[in-house]
Amino acid sequence: MRAFYHDNIGGDQFALHDSGRSVSEEELKASGVLYWHIPVEEDREWEREIDDIAQRRDYKNRDVKESSRAILGDDWEAGVKMVYEEHMHEDEEIRFVLEGSGFFDVREHPTDNWVRIHVSKGDLLVVPAGIYHRFSLDINERIKVMRLSKDEPKWIAHYRGSETEENPHRLDYLKTVQSVPVAV
C-alpha cells in the first residue's frame, strides 16, 4: 500500500495521479481508514490472519469479487464509471486484495482533498462508513478481492449531495474524525 495526495489533474482514472505528497498510515488512521498487509501465500496461512481480524472486528460474511475488462465485458464502461463516482456507504467497506491492484480514493476531512491509496496483493483496507470515497482499477485493469462485512452485504452507494450530507452515518463519521487530534 502506498498513500498520497491525488494530483487533481483530470484525465485517465487508471493513471497514478501522484502529487508527490505522501500520506502516512497514521494520517489514514486519523481519517478512520485502517490498513494491514498480510502476505498471500500458496500455503494459505493468510486465511488465519483474515479470520482473526474478522473475529476481532465482527465481520461475519465474505465473498470474492474479481474485476477486469475481460470479466466485465459489455458492462466495463458502466462498471468502472459507477465505482469511480464519489459516494459513501452506511457500512464499512472492507477489501483484502488477493490478486491485482487498484486505487481507493478517500476524502480527507476537513480539507476535502483526495487521498489516493494504491493497494495490491496482500493489502487489507477498511474504509469507514460515512467517508466519501471512490474506487478505480490501475493501469493493470485487474483486481481480485475478498469483501468482508459485518452483516449481509448491502453495498448501497449514497452519492455525494445535500441529502447525503445529512445521512446519520455521514454525521457519525464527521463526529468521529473531528474528535481525533490532528498531527502537526
6 assigned binding-site residue = no
Q: Which pLDDT score, from 0 to 100, does residue 43 have? A: 87
133 assigned binding-site residue = yes
| pLDDT, tens digit, 9 for 90 and up, residues 86-132 | 999 999 999 999 999 999 999 999 999 999 999 999 999 999 999 99
37 assigned binding-site residue = no
Please give the domain boundaries of the chain with CATH numbers for all domains. Answer: 2-6+18-177 (2.60.120.10)
Q: Is the pLDDT of residue 181 over 80?
A: no
Q: Which pLDDT score, from 0 to 100, does residue 182 have? A: 52
Q: Is the pLDDT of residue 184 over 60?
A: no
Tell me the backbone φ, ψ of residue 35, rounded to 5 degrees.
Answer: -145, 140
| Cβ(118)–Cβ(169) below 8 Å | no
Q: Is the pLDDT of residue 3 over 60?
A: yes
Query: If you average pLDDT over every residue of the chain, what do you get?
Result: 94
CA distance 56 to 126: 13
158 assigned binding-site residue = no
Nine cell digits for residue 152? 449481509
